[in-house]
Structure 1
Amino acid sequence: GYTSVLASSPGPHHPQPLSKEELEALKVAFEQGNLSGVVSRLQETLESLKNVQLDVGITGETGSGKSSFVNALRGLGDEDAGAARTGVVETTREPTPYQHPQYPNVTIWDLPGIGTTDFHPDAYLEQVGFSRYDIFFIIASQRFTANHAALARHIQALDKNFYFVRSKVDADLDSSLRRRPSSYSEVGVLQEIRENCLEGLRAQEVDSPYVFLLSAFELGKYDFHLLEETLERELSHHKRHAFLKALPNISLHLLEKKKAAMMKQMWLVSTVACGVHAKPIPGLLISCDVDVLARTLQGYCKSFGLDEDSLEKLAAQVGQPVGQMKAVIKSPLATEISNSLVVQLLTQAGGKVPKLSKEVLSSVPVLGSMASGALSFATTYKMLRSFMDEVAASVQRVLIKAFETETPSMEGRWRQDPNIPRKSLPLPIKCQNFIP
């Protein structure tokens, strides 16, 4: 049946399954022969993925680096326009929302400090409007105290997710290197910091604590990939998609994650584009909604920082002409994403899909009710996959071009420890301010 087919495990070219709720809604519409209802429901799913609201609360003691962490998650430096105020004294008196510069549905909240002697976690959570946040980051730049632990227990009791973050580990590493240059070990220092944090939390009776070691100025290093993987497991599907899409492009690993997340949605886009609003494409034996596809391609470029605004910002940050950034972007990304370009790409994809059309028809049976549905879907799906491959390749070329003077240090680190997966290496430090 329709539900069992969509719920089956997808192969490399198969559509990604929907959630149980989405499957049930589609099953009812399909069994009632309501084709427009099916496509309409899929369109709603796409819109919800694009517009889902994600609210992240950042809290901790005064001077722990809360505001810098807020900025880093938004791809901003502390001096950039729109950045949260930072300083050694408490600069946040009330919960302050900071929208993501390119994804306004993602809001990072800078919350007041918790370091006062009369701190009461229940009153604090009421003051900051506890219910509005999806997740909390509890930050410390030294040891975690009784205040951190008490806040964590209250958040846990109210059934919300929280994550301990030990900030400023880059400063600790620099200090250790100056003090003990001959015996310095980055791994050893990080392990010492981690054990110190865990001991402090256990002493405050926090069960099975886990601490992520991070630096707001080198966000892609240390434990960020572990934090990202944890959030991927624990956030709901739509919230996870919003968080991942909004993260700055700080490592090749993260770029691959973004690509994989968007690939999972391609069958959804293809089905909607070939639905009831599809129109015949002149010169091709297919029908699709070219407007939907053009907006999708524009969204891919935006998420990977290949739109005009992101490229200009990157060029200004690294002091290079924007033309040098654009020079390494190959066609079709080098041209404006327009409806005519979409038709051109569909034409190129059209000769590569005969086998795929039979395969996808069995995975998305609703297409069988559409005129030329399978061929239209297969052509659209192939075009999106090819475009995404080129996006992923181009953004790597752009970032390497932008930070090419720092690339040898990345290679040097890999040569020192070949066990480090290349894709997990962070992109150069300057890249922390690159907004995707």
Structure 2
Amino acid sequence: MKLSKSMSMFAAVTVVAMSVTACSSGSKPAETTKPAETAAAGDATAATAASPAAGGTAELKPEAGAKLKIWDSKDERAFTDEMIKEFTAKYNVPVELEELAPPNVVTRLQTDGPTGLAADVMIFPHDHVGRAVAGELLLPNDVFGDVTKKENTESAIQGISYENVLFGYPRAAETYALYYNKDLVKEAPKSFDDVIAFSKTFNKDGKYGIMWETGNFYFNYPFIASSGGYLFGKNGTDKNDIGINNDGAVASMKVYASLKQVLPVKSADITADIKRGKFTGGEVAMDINGPWELAGYKKALGDKLGVADIPTIAGKPAVSFSGIKAWYVSSFTKYPNAAKLFARFASTKDAQLKLNKLVGSVPTNKDAQNDPQIKNDPYVSGFVGQFNHSVPMPSIPEMNNVWAPAGAALTEVWDNGKDPKTVLDNAVTQIKDLNNGAKK
């Protein structure tokens, strides 16, 4: 999924959709959907097994007559279609897939859940978890919680939990790294000073040494965090402690501003589609992007494609956002057992390796990460180094208030040459104002 694109789409392209506030406490799930009540009803095919903590061998059983609807993006449909086929063959539960862009899922669940039109299981960026939990839209990952925590990385579990309660079933990790064309760039640059030097020799007739979405806060977090800036304090949980305008952030943003000299293109004119076409066509030598582009880039460039850490910023390793793509179970589902079974089934080691094979994703499952399929892949393993310098995107509801002010600040610096400190101060004020008025 394009996290990204879910995870970028956590961004400028979806700012309007993501500016919707969390649903009110009036939109609550139907009481009949609660799993405890389903079991209490005495359904002969309901859960009868214990929690699968010991290796996940004991399982729930789907409810009689269960059928599921899944929300997932079109970008990874080949994987989801395969999971549906295998799940139905094993559990005899029909599953319908409806394509929906992950950044729009929580808003749709908020409106469609009470009417019975929502999906039972869905994918959305982990930074929306807080808003979904505040709206009482999700069931916890309880039955499979222990085995999920045992099998997956700590950062993955942190990303899909809220207030120490696990809600997600992780299937892939995401951050972004530096793609480069080896025919054009013999060796990946170590610093953005190197990027500028190379670009001055390469730029000509619409060709650029590097291109990335300069107005998208998701991709530009390294220009905040690498020298000591941060979004929210206390590991992303303190909405009142905002550090995108501290001295470290301003120092990194000065590097960001300096790059306009080798990429003299307005932010609005750098879209994912434009950038993709230029990179695969040899008009751009380097691209900062995520693993969702890997399959297409490999097809276009073959052995010419390289993946490396994002260049250092002001002498510091580039600190990117990381995100977790995960399945979640709707609190409105009529079939919580079947829904939890599907979420577990489609997030195991084998499922994550299959997803990697189909789209080049990065597993969160620790055994999958150590599988030769991953360790011997020069592209996927190329993202590992950058993951070591990433931080999980905050998942508190106030994350929704960040995108528009932060994106506007980037545009003011990039397009209009405004002072980074001034525009970042203004962005912090706007975010705090939104936070103070946000519904919980």
Q: The TM-score by the shorter chain falls in which range?
A: under 0.3
After TM superposition, the score normalised by the length of structure 1 is 0.27
The structure with the greater share of residues assigned to helix is 1
Between 1 and 2, higher relative CO (CA 8 Å, sep ≥ 6) is seen in: 2
Higher Rg: 1
After TM superposition, the score normalised by the length of structure 2 is 0.27
